[in-house]
Structure 1
Amino acid sequence: MFKHYRALLAALQRDPVRHGLDGTFATNTAFILGLDAGTSWNMLTGFQEWLVVRLGRGHDLTWPVLVRHLAPSGWTHPLTSQADAEALTTLYRLLREYFDQREQTDGLATIFKDYQSWLTTQAWYQFETPQANQIN
């Protein structure tokens, strides 16, 4: 299954115009979101969580925003042509690395385990137990 996604995304990166795109990060992201929707959101299941662990923050951000934070220029708005090209290169590199992880035995489970481990280190994620609130 991921072999097909890899081939399609490689073709998209190589020749965006053939797929009706202008070659920007925005249009490539929109196309990839559409691909994901066409797989009932299966193609990129865990991608956002995988990116959050890599970045170390951003659980409340969408994956396109996380990719831009992970690009060499970091988050810039609006995107300059150089930052756009860097974000696009970063997007395809991260997708390849993510698919590598997903293809591993228990790859998706590992992604969510790593994300859960990351969550438990966040101060805002700590919950008080009813016993902690009891007065002796």
Structure 2
Amino acid sequence: MNVTLWIVAGVLAAASLFGGISKTFIPKEKLAAAPGGGWTATATVPFVKSLGILELLAALGLILPAALDIAPIMVPITATCWILLMVGAAITHLRHNEPKFIAVNLVYLALAVVIAWGRFGPYAF
């Protein structure tokens, strides 16, 4: 199960890294034109960039604390924060009538629940 949790954390970290890079470095106008990015049209640039930075930090927080054995409790805490972020993302996509992206958010949310459960519970570091 430990290996499974590492794989799930890696997949979620990769998704977080991709999302963080795009929100942080791609102009808002280009994001708004992309599939699933319609919500950015009504968001401020600082808000979108802040979400991107949070996603970059989440990518680091899902892997580095355990890999470096420095405060490994941060892994399930990061997963819990990711759950909250995905709830907000799903609500945002619901408001913009983007059901396909709600499904993606729910998959990411489920992965984060698995990590939080495993690392807070029976498979803690």
Same fold (TM > 0.5)? no
Give TM-score scaled by structure 1 length: 0.33
The structure where helix makes up a greater share of residues is 2
Give TM-score scaled by structure 2 length: 0.35
